[in-house]
Amino acid sequence: MTELTLQEAIFTVSNLRNQLNKEYAKFDTEYRVPVAVNNESIVNDGKAADVKDSLKKIEQLKHDIITLKAAVHHKNTTGKLTIDGAEYTASEVLESLKLERDIVNNLQNNTAFGYHRERIKTVAGVGIVEEGIISEKEVLEYIEALEVKVNRKSMLIDKFNSTETIEVKLKTI
């Protein structure tokens, strides 16, 4: 059994996916070659063994990725975090973080003015027009408060990921 923090497990999944992509690439580069000439096989036994080894490696990598992701998911759905006196699962916090980051990004995009989105324009036949968001001050305060929450939750998740551990049986490590 291998014991890993969630942070290590997430990093390991990324590395295993890279290894899997390298195995895929072999089928496009090393193994996609002429295999017969005039109906006569020209494949040497060494390359055939390499293909079998790659297929075996793909299966092992698949197993390890599934095992790690399932263990991380289980820990996230059972591990608890306390925020403002209320208890949440790590999964709930991660989902709220995802949504809150999206809200912040969308609102910031709509409150930002600059290149091609000038706040004050001269419009022919109208005059000087100022663009803005209705209740902009309130929206900006909301964004600022939400950013504080997002940063606090991010730090809690980082701490959770660096301290919580899982035990898994891996084939490639």
pLDDT in tens, 34-83: 999 999 999 989 999 999 999 999 999 999 999 999 999 999 999 999 99
pTM of the model: 0.83
- Do the Cβ atoms of 48 and 35 come closer than 8 Å? no
Residue 114's region, left for phi above 0, alpha for psi from -120 to 50, else beta, is left
Determine contact, residues 9/165, Cβ cutoff 8 Å.
no
Hey, how many other C-beta atoms are within 10 angstroms of the C-beta on 58?
Answer: 16
User: pLDDT for 122-154, tens place per residue?
Assistant: 889 999 998 888 999 999 999 999 999 999 999
Confidence of residue 168 (pLDDT cuts 50, 70, 90): very high
